[in-house]
Chain A
Amino acid sequence: MKLRITTFAQLKDHFEPNFTLELPEDSTAGDALLSLAKLRPEAEPILEASRIAINEEIVSVETPLEDGQNLFVLPPASGG
């Protein structure tokens, strides 16, 4: 399946702001993070601490993904 990935903050030092990620069927949000870490191993520590949002909701790593979804990969918050 194909997911549309949007990255933020320090993740943009390692990835494009927007790109397509191909994953096997039955992949989860956690699988997406692992796949991104395989693409850019130097980003693995940030990805391990990142969360994924779909449809303006933060989802758990066990959440199954669907073809065509937009995934927002959120590094640890540092606002305020």
Chain B
Amino acid sequence: MTVSAPAIHSRICSEPLQPSLLYERSAHPASGAVVLFSGVVRNSNHGRPVDYLEYEAYPELAEKMMRQILSQATERWQLNAALAEHRTGRLEIGEVAVVIVTSCGHREECYEANRYIIDTIKSEVPIWKKEVFLDGSYEWGNHCHC
């Protein structure tokens, strides 16, 4: 039985994401668990009705840092596959902004790794969310009122 290297995939793109395709790409015979996280645009934030979101990125660095995060997670939790895609541009309510797929032997590592990846992407990767509310006002993410 040949052992294949873990599959790592990191992409920033402006087209609609396809979570099911990413799921399929994560297939690995040694995996007993696959966890898929999908970050979706919600219709309100802190009680304020949202019209739409806009995501901006420094794409080259964002892809690179996402790949580094995926590699770290792969090593730490012995993943067979770790895939992440983040969309940029205007997103309507219900659209998918980010997908993280982790595939590994057992579900414990899978859940932990997936959680680590999305949390670290949110805090570290140069991607920014602008929320535009129904009243026309907007706010940049992170609740940084600056």
Stretch at the interface among B3-11, B26-34, B121-129: B121-129
Residue of A43, A72, A77 touching B128 (CB-CB under 8 A): A77
Q: CB distance A77 to B126 under 8 Å?
A: yes
Q: CB distance B86 to A78 under 8 Å?
A: no
> Would you call A74 an interface residue if the criterion is a C-beta within 8 Å of the partner chain's C-beta atoms?
yes
> Would you call A69 an interface residue if the criterion is a C-beta within 8 Å of the partner chain's C-beta atoms?
no
CB neighbours (8 Å) of B118 from chain A are 80
CB neighbours (8 Å) of B133 from chain A are none
CB neighbours (8 Å) of B61 from chain A are 53, 56, 58, 72
Q: Which residues of A7-64 are within 8 A (CB) of B?
A: 8-10, 43, 45-46, 49, 53, 56, 58
Q: CB distance A78 to B140 under 8 Å?
A: yes
CB neighbours (8 Å) of B141 from chain A are 78-79
CB neighbours (8 Å) of B146 from chain A are 10, 43, 45-46, 49
Stretch at the interface among B14-22, B50-58, B75-83, B101-109: B50-58
Residue of A8, A53, A74, A80 touching B122 (CB-CB under 8 A): A80
Number of interface residues, chain A, beta carbon within 8 A: 18
Given the complex of chains A and B, what is the CA–CA distance between A78 and B39 in angstroms?
Answer: 13
B80 to chain A, nearest CB (A): 23
CB neighbours (8 Å) of A8 from chain B are 56, 58, 126, 128
Q: Residue of B at shortest CB range from A78? A: B141
Q: CB distance B127 to A10 under 8 Å?
A: no
A78 with B64: in contact, given A9-B56, A9-B140 (CB under 8 Å)? no
Interface, chain A (partner B; CB < 8 A): 8-10, 43, 45-46, 49, 53, 56, 58, 72, 74-80
* 19 sample A-B contacts, Cβ–Cβ < 8 Å, listed by A number: A8-B56, A10-B128, A10-B144, A43-B146, A45-B146, A74-B58, A75-B128, A76-B142, A77-B127, A78-B127, A78-B141, A79-B126, A80-B39, A80-B86, A80-B97, A80-B98, A80-B118, A80-B122, A80-B129
The 8 lowest CB-CB distance pairs between A and B, nearest first, are: A78-B141, A79-B127, A80-B122, A45-B146, A9-B128, A78-B142, A10-B140, A78-B129
